[in-house]
Amino acid sequence: MKTIPLIVVLNVLLFLAGPLLAQSTDADAGYPTYSLDELEVELYTPEFVNVNELFGTIRATYGRSFLVSENGSIQDAPRNVQMLGDSLLIYDTADYRTRVLAAAEKLDVPGASNSQHNAPLLRESDLGLFEYSPRFMSIDAIQEALQPFTGYVRVAKADTTSGWDEIPRISVSYASRLVIVRDVPSRVMQVKGLLERIDVPEPHVAISCMVLRATRASGDEGLPAELVKNLSALVPYDQFNLVTMGLITTAVASGSSIELKMPLASGGSDAQAFMVQEAYDPATRALTLNRFSFTLHGAAEFTTRATITAGEYLVIGASGPQPVFVVLRLETVSS
């Protein structure tokens, strides 16, 4: 606890007041008025609890506003409790200041805060060290995944009888592509286990797209019999010709898009399939597309949402008097 002359901190208080500091009007009559001589300033630096938590509690309980009389004029004062660095700045009458300080001291005891600043002091030898170089994930993705483990550990200074250093539990070196973990051994093992589970290759799939046209004449004999049978059950056609096709292999990643351009034998604009991935279920080997759109000869034919299951044909849609069908098939690919 530090007591300092009023004149030293007055400028700080005026700055904190900001635009609130203004000439008082009759509307301010509901606030108490004090002269500068009645007001005192004190800094309180908590020893055990987090200053942000203490400030919130004290200001909610004891915070107030008042007017200040100076050289015959009445002015608004800033709130009586402010934060200044790692301390509370209390600006009030002697009696009220004493009440605020008593409350702060009562709250500032060991174990009163959930803050990490209340963590027990450790020795350097108590900490484990684990350095990890990501294999498949980016450094930023690793950092995001490790958010629940972030924070600091308090380590007693080796060369003094008091004081401590705060060491980050998780830090990164972009230059070396390393994630550095410093914590008690049990938490280091938790982080290590999590990284081993999540830093794995993304599954890859192959998506084929066939554009077929129904016909009354003889169709292409090379089309899969299963596909022709399924299409015939949907429409009054039993013959189909392959207009064009395309195949692409891609990593499964939610939100990523895929564009497949397929040239037409007749020339002109390509047929285009545009897909946006949403989710992939490895158990069922099913890929959900948040969006699938198909364009033929530069004109949009349809847009839809679909789920493709590996090893099956999925008829996405058809359009035109002599229907053009878009058929997708998914196969898993070893990484």
The 10s digit of each residue's pLDDT in 246-289 is 999 998 888 889 999 999 887 777 899 999 999 899 889 999 99
Residue 54, pLDDT score? 84
Q: Tokens 């279920």 identify what position? A: 281
Q: How many CB atoms lie within 10 A of CB 67?
A: 17
Alpha-carbon distances of 165 from 127, 134, 160, rounded to whole Å: 13, 28, 11
With bands split at pLDDT 50, 70 and 90, how would you rate the model's confidence at 110? low
Q: DSSP H helical segments within 152-206, as ranges? A: 185-198
- In CATH, what class is 119-198? alpha beta
Positive/negative CA dihedral, 47, 49, 54, 57 = negative
Q: Which residues contact 97 (CB under 8 A, 6 or more apart)?
A: 40, 42, 90
DSSP result, 71-126: TTEEEE---SEEEETTEEEEEEEHHHHHHHHHHHHHH-STT---SGGGSPPB-GGG
Angle CA 164–166–168, to nearest 5 = 155
- CATH 3.30.1370 positions along the chain are 119-198
Residue 4, pLDDT score? 45
Residue 46, pLDDT score? 86
Distance between start and end Cα atoms, the chain: 63
User: Looking at the predicted structure, is the pLDDT value of residue 27 above 50?
Assistant: no
With bands split at pLDDT 50, 70 and 90, how would you rate the model's confidence at 160? low
Query: Average pLDDT, stretch 176-191?
Result: 92
Dig out the tokens for 157 from the structure. 């200074």
Query: Average pLDDT, stretch 79-90?
Result: 87
Q: Which residues contact 330 (CB under 8 A, 6 or more apart)?
A: 205, 206, 207, 285, 287, 308, 309, 310, 311, 312
Most confident among 202-206, 220-224, 299-303 (mean pLDDT): 202-206
User: Looking at the predicted structure, is the pLDDT value of residue 145 above 80?
Assistant: yes
